[in-house]
């Protein structure tokens, strides 16, 4: 990860080179995802080794492209996996294919973590506290991962380790890459977002006919088969009388995914997106749209909004609406007022959801109450993988009993509740990290007027408020992980510009300053 003079350009020629590099990096990202999934399809150990080597080579040779590689793998990996679905009969191998992006992420995280100890990194004084905070949080997560392996199931612990470490890894990679290299995501995010929007409209219009073009219907069928074998739909039949007739039935929902509107609107087809998960897809669309919005682009965010309404993710839609409002009222002279309005909306949104949910026996509120209750009983924490939607400990949860008692038996549905239960007092480190990011974004926005920091503030605050009643807000890679990838780029770019102004980093063609004696 050497800092070559040609990679640190400023001025017109460098700007043109940066734009050219952006498209080159996007091509690298697409090819890397295809190559990684293909390697996993050949043989899982070979896939792990090949993806590790490929990502490590890119981290050394083209470190500035790693953020867009990660973003592309989060959003489009499962689209590539779908192509291989007919040729991968084994379910474990199929699951392994979907883990390729985690191998990419953790390999890059390891490479950038090692690079954190270089002199030129330590010379950037603004960067050092964030790296220290990152390592402390990483140590905390690893500790509770070990506790979860000992006290619970190793598989559950691994799942929640992945969910919890992903946002931190994304931020660490992004802030370090942007601090040392010129990282321009404008074209990359624009085309990733445009592709996701076009995909969404084609999926909504042509449905299974469109998905069958690349075996997307078989991808969904594989997940449906696992649910049928687990008795999910048999249980739903007993509870609601719903009879599953086909794949498309699993993708139908009420408008905005709420029973209150079931009598007013007919059932609608719920997009899964290129990543085949509606909520994650909605967060990906919302985050990219908000990021583009604060950079002066309105067309794609407006095109994404109808898709968000169809998907029915209230949290992702709320974030984009808050971003739209903040973008409209923001002026450098009234930055404080804009930020205060964002916080007020987030607080009102969260409190209203809790109050409404508590009076209607909402599962998310019952899961939050369970997390808070168990935290009060055991502040130390149970360990990662114990509790939560994706854990085997919640498979036999009795919701009828939970509604009668006003609390779930284990924390589920609420990222905050699950994190309090699993990590106990250690979760305070995670929450403090997000709070510090919001405070720093506010400070940088007031100091520079750069709308990138308004995006950072809006995204972190709204996702944190959504996490009170939604697990995906923290634990989906396309939610908090993707958000912190973009936030890290904004902070890193700022620290890099300050480093250049102080002579710690060089303009192109100028020799690097000699290291001070240590």
Least confident of 32-46, 90-104, 106-120, 222-236: 222-236
Res 9: pLDDT: 36
Res 106: pLDDT: 98
Q: What is the pLDDT of residues 404-419, one digit of tens each?
A: 788 888 899 999 999 9
Measured distance CA(431)–CA(437) in Å, rounded = 10
Nearest to residue 321, comparing CAs of 499, 190, 132, 458?
A: 458
Q: Which two tokens stand for residue 170?
A: 């994304």
Angle, vertex CA 106, rays to CA 381 and CA 44, nearest 5: 105
Residue 437 above 70 pLDDT? yes
Using DSSP's 3-state secondary structure scheme, residue 313 falls into coil
Least confident of 75-84, 118-127, 254-263, 380-389: 254-263
As a whole number of Å, the CA-based R_g of the chain is 23
DSSP state of 397: -
pLDDT band (50, 70, 90) for residue 2: very low
pLDDT band (50, 70, 90) for residue 516: very low
Q: What is the pLDDT of residues 248-262, one digit of tens each?
A: 777 777 776 666 666
Least confident of 151-160, 284-293, 497-506: 497-506
Facing residues of 253 across strands?
A: 268
Q: CB–CB of 369/139 below 8 Å?
A: no
Q: What is the pLDDT of residues 165-191, one digit of tens each?
A: 999 999 999 999 999 999 999 999 999
pTM of the prediction? Answer: 0.92
Q: CB–CB of 185/25 below 8 Å?
A: no
Facing residues of 268 across strands?
A: 253
Q: What are phi and psi of 275, to 5 degrees?
A: -100, 0
Q: Which residues contact 127 (CB under 8 A, 6 or more apart)?
A: 121, 175, 176, 179, 492, 495
Q: CB–CB of 382/144 below 8 Å?
A: no
Res 5: pLDDT: 35
Res 517: pLDDT: 37
How confident is the model over 386-398, as a mean pLDDT? 85
- Please state the three-class secondary structure of 406-432 as a single string: CCCCCCCCCHHHHHHHHHCCHHHHHHH
Q: Which two tokens stand for residue 86?
A: 């007919």
Q: Which two tokens stand for residue 95?
A: 């699951």
Q: What is the pLDDT of residues 40-81, one digit of tens each?
A: 999 999 999 999 999 999 999 999 999 999 999 999 999 999
Measured distance CA(226)–CA(218) in Å, rounded = 13
Q: What is the pLDDT of residues 303-317, one digit of tens each?
A: 999 999 999 899 999
403 vs 376, higher pLDDT: 376
Res 260: pLDDT: 64
Res 413: pLDDT: 92
DSSP state of 334: G
pLDDT band (50, 70, 90) for residue 402: confident
Residue 8 above 60 pLDDT? no
Nearest to residue 486, comparing CAs of 195, 184, 277?
A: 184
Res 452: pLDDT: 96
Q: How far from 123 is each of 69, 158, 260, 487, 516, CA to CA, in Å?
A: 27, 35, 56, 21, 9
Q: CB–CB of 163/389 below 8 Å?
A: no
In whole angstroms, what separates CA 480 from the centre of its chain?
A: 4
508 vs 61, higher pLDDT: 61
Q: What is the pLDDT of residues 326-380, one digit of tens each?
A: 999 999 988 999 999 999 999 999 999 999 988 888 889 999 999 999 999 999 9
Measured distance CA(293)–CA(459) in Å, rounded = 12
Res 362: pLDDT: 86
Least confident of 21-35, 193-207, 256-270, 500-514: 500-514
How confident is the model over 180-205, as a mean pLDDT? 95
Res 40: pLDDT: 96
Res 239: pLDDT: 58
Q: What is the mean pLDDT of the chain?
A: 89
How confident is the model over 217-245, as a mean pLDDT? 70
Phi-psi region of 271 (alpha: psi -120 to 50; beta: other; left: phi over 0): beta
Measured distance CA(84)–CA(90) in Å, rounded = 12
């Amino acid at each position: 990860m050497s800092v070559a003079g040609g990679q640190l350009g400023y001025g017109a020629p460098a700007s043109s080179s940066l734009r050219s590099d952006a498209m080159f990096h996007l091509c690298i990202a697409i090819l890397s995802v295809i190559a990684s999934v293909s390697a996993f399809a050949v043989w899982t150990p070979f896939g792990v080794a090949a993806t590790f080597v490929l990502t490590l080579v890119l981290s050394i040779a083209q470190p500035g492209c790693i953020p867009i590689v990660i973003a592309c793998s989060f959003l489009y990996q499962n689209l590539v996996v779908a192509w291989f679905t007919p040729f991968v009969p084994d379910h474990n191998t199929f699951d392994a294919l979907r883990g390729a992006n985690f191998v990419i992420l953790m390999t890059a995280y390891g490479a950038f973590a090692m690079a954190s100890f270089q002199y030129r990194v330590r010379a950037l004084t603004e960067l050092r506290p964030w790296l220290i905070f990152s390592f402390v949080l990483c140590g905390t997560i690893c500790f509770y991962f070990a506790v979860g392996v000992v006290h619970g199931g190793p598989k559950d612990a691994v799942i929640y380790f992945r969910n919890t470490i992903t946002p931190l890894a994304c931020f660490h990679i992004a802030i370090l890459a942007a601090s040392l290299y010129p990282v321009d995501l404008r074209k990359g995010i624009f085309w990733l977002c445009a592709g996701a929007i076009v995909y969404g409209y084609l999926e909504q219009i042509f449905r299974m006919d469109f998905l069958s073009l690349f075996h997307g219907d078989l991808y969904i069928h594989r997940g449906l088969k696992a649910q049928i074998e687990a008795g999910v739909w048999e249980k739903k039949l007993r509870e609601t009388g719903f009879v599953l007739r086909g794949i498309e039935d699993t993708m139908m929902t009420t408008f905005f995914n709420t029973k209150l509107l079931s009598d007013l609107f007919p059932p609608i087809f719920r997009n899964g997106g290129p990543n085949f998960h509606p909520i994650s897809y909605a967060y990906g669309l919302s985050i990219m749209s908000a990021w583009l919005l604060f950079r002066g682009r309105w067309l794609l965010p407006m095109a994404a909004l109808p898709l968000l309404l169809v998907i029915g993710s209230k949290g992702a839609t709320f974030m984009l609406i808050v971003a739209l409002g903040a973008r409209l009222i923001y002026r450098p002279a009234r930055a404080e007022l804009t930020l205060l309005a964002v916080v007020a909306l987030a607080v009102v949104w969260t409190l209203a959801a809790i109050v409404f949910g508590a009076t209607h026996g909402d599962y998310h509120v019952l899961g939050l109450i369970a997390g808070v209750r168990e935290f009060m009983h055991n502040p130390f924490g149970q360990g990662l993988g114990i509790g939560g939607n994706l854990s085997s400990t919640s498979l036999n949860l009795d919701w009828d009993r939970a509604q009668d008692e006003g609390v779930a038996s284990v924390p589920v549905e609420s990222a905050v509740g699950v994190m309090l239960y699993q990590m106990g007092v250690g979760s305070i480190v995670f929450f403090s990290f997000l709070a510090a990011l919001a405070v720093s974004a506010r400070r940088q926005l007031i100091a520079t007027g750069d709308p990138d920091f308004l995006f950072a503030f809006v995204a972190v605050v709204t996702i944190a408020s959504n996490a009170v009643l939604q697990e995906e807000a923290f634990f989906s890679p396309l939610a908090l992980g993707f958000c912190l990838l973009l936030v890290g780029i904004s902070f890193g770019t700022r620290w890099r510009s300050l480093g250049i102004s102080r002579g710690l980093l060089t303009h192109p063609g100028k020799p690097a300053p000699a290291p001070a004696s240590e």
